[in-house]
Amino acid sequence: MKKWIIGLVVIIIIAIVAIMNYAPLKNKVMQQFFATKVYALLNDDEVMNLHQVITKDSSNSRTVMWQSLNDRDDFILEYGTDEEGDLTTVSPQKSVLNIDDKQIYIYSVYLNDLTPNTAYKYRVGYADSRTNWHDLKTADKDNNNFKVLIFPDSQSNDYTDWKNVAMNAWQQNPDSNFFINMGDLVDNGYDLSQWNAWFNSVEAMNTQIPVAPVQGNHEFYTTEWEVDLPIAYDKFFDLPSNGTDKYKNLYYSFDYGDVHFTVLNTQDDEIKEYEPNLLQDEIDWLRQDLASTTKKWKIVLMHRDVLNYSRNAAPLDGISFSRHGETFMPIFDEYNVDAVLTAHLHTYRRRVPIRDFAANDNGTLYILTGIAGNVRYPNLWHRNLLDAYVPPQPETDNYIVMDVNDDSITFNTYLPDNTQIDTVTLQK
């Protein structure tokens, strides 16, 4: 062997010995070794429906949830800014859901010590098994520019259309910060296969950005099509607290940038057997919620709409408001809510600004968000006199992109092929 090769080998050996005997470098080498340890990939039944959920303040917190057929006490979530750097390990809270003749274990981690405007990686697992890494980005407290994807009812009997709409919107807008689903996420709230289809359809998006769900009436339906408590929705989404355990996950609010979002519950009829005082208690909470925010913009999300429409027969004689419209719209006027988004009727309608139950240029913008599943009501609703825009009939699916800037909010509405059908901008 040539002398220079022998010399090089000796130098390398000396360098390795020196590194391993220098404590800081030794620790770093060992950290890197363990951080890059190869883990077995978890099976689908061990970690199912991994997703992020919106929190009160997305600049420093995030909820991560998953489901499993296995009852384990050693599940963990690992996260950090670098997959090969220092990782923080957190143990989840566990709950049990008995549904559809199955027992599902729900795991939830609330991360509340995150740094604003920071990109994290996270994964979950146990022992020597882990999921793949996923992205988690916190909001920027000093930047009010952000984007939201808004999806109407995803209720379906086949969730292929829902997946196509949601994934196409995500591919077109990969810089979106979170997404909203406006209620009736599934057709039957007690059908586990439908929930699995819903989660599977948005997995690529919901593992990366959080969902802000709105509860709809179909979340209350059993497999016998009777009304009962929305047990699956309640377990699958740990939502920001509204200050009472009694109404946990029924309604909530959160901030993102300079926008305050208030999410109302319009299922007081469905839940009246269990919570007869829901509507009045919610009204009291709503007033307090809107009065206490200091954000520049106020946006309300609610499943049922504020206007009445005639079905099939002759158009309504004049303008008619729904029971929830009559209840909530004076409060929206009182606290100068900028925009109210609704769903439920499976049609897209943008209204003229409304105040005091009449057209008013200084009023609130109301948008009936449309449909994102395959349950459609073509040519069902007559035009209301307050409708400013109605898409060509019969309707297909649609999604909305909400762009927020320092002095404006724009709602752009698209068909599944990304054809833009409507746009409206609020300025302040």
Q: How many domains does the chain have?
A: 3
pLDDT at 29 over 80: no
Where a domain ends, among 109, 137, 165? 137
d(CA 17, CA 238): 51
The confidence band for 123, taking pLDDT boundaries of 50, 70 and 90, is very high
Q: Are 166 and 195 contained in the same domain?
A: yes
For the CA atoms of the chain, what is the radius of gyration? Answer: 25
The pair phi, psi for residue 374, each rounded to 5°, is: -115, 10
CATH at 398: 3.60.21.10
pLDDT in tens, 360-382: 999 999 999 999 999 988 777 88
> What is the reported pTM?
0.90
Q: Are 55 and 96 contained in the same domain?
A: yes
The confidence band for 311, taking pLDDT boundaries of 50, 70 and 90, is confident
d(CA 218, CA 157): 12
Give the residue-averaged pLDDT of 412-417.
96
pLDDT in tens, 233-265: 999 999 999 999 999 999 999 999 999 999 999
Where a domain ends, among 137, 163, 181? 137
By residue range, what is the domain housing residue 387?
Answer: 146-427
Both tokens of 11, joined, read 């130098």
Q: Are 95 and 179 contained in the same domain?
A: no
